[in-house]
């Protein structure tokens, strides 16, 4: 399947497995996505290979950042009916607490949509949405 066919299939069926399998980093970290109506919730499963500090044990900060950036790109692509992955311009991440070795979730929200640039806010949490482990702001270049 070509990329446009995978994107079309994902949009029509709500099945993100083919799209996520086509992105090597998503496969490597185990990224998953569930759709609830128009909302997307991204999930990073508990996985030993994602640990950065085995003593705590805590997820590597780069894995958390990659998970959040990729979630924002997929969210934007799906919400804008685009047939290609948007290009990242800037990504700013605030770590708020340790991401322990447990299932982690992310939710995205479009904060600004211009003609060429879109801004997305991402929040990641584990046990409770009210206690995020990280927040991020992502700016993407939208291409025709």
90: part of which helix (H) or strand (E)?
strand 87-95
Q: In this predicted model, what pLDDT tens digit does every residue of 79-120 receive, in sequence order?
A: 887 778 899 999 999 999 999 999 999 999 999 988 889 999
Give the number of other CB atoms < 10 A from CB of residue 105. 20
Token reading at 142: 């939208």
14: part of which helix (H) or strand (E)?
none
Token reading at 131: 């206690």
pTM more than 0.95: no
- Tell me the fold of 3-141: Thiol Ester Dehydrase; Chain A (3.10.129)
Helices 3-13, 61-79: axis angle to 10 degrees equals 80
Q: Tell which residue, 92, 105, 103, 101, has the closest CA to residue 132.
A: 105
Higher pLDDT, 84 or 71: 71
Q: What are the CA-CA distances from residue 60 to residues 48, 64, 65, 86 (Å)? A: 10, 7, 9, 25
Mean pLDDT of the chain: 93
Residue 56 has pLDDT above 60, yes or no: yes
């Amino acid at each position: 399947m070509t990329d446009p066919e995978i994107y079309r299939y994902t949009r029509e069926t709500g099945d993100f497995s083919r799209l996520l399998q086509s992105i090597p980093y998503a496969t490597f970290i185990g990224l998953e996505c569930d759709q609830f109506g128009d909302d997307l919730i991204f999930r990073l499963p508990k996985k030993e290979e994602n640990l950065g500090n085995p003593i705590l044990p805590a997820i590597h900060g780069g894995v958390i950042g990659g998970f959040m950036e990729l979630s924002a790109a997929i969210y934007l692509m799906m919400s804008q009916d685009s047939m290609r992955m948007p290009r990242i311009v800037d990504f700013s991440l605030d770590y708020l607490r340790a991401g322990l070795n447990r299932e982690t979730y992310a939710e995205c929200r479009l904060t600004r949509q211009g003609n060429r640039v879109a801004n997305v806010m991402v929040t990641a949490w584990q046990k409770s949405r009210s206690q995020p482990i990280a927040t991020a702001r992502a700016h993407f270049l939208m291409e025709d």
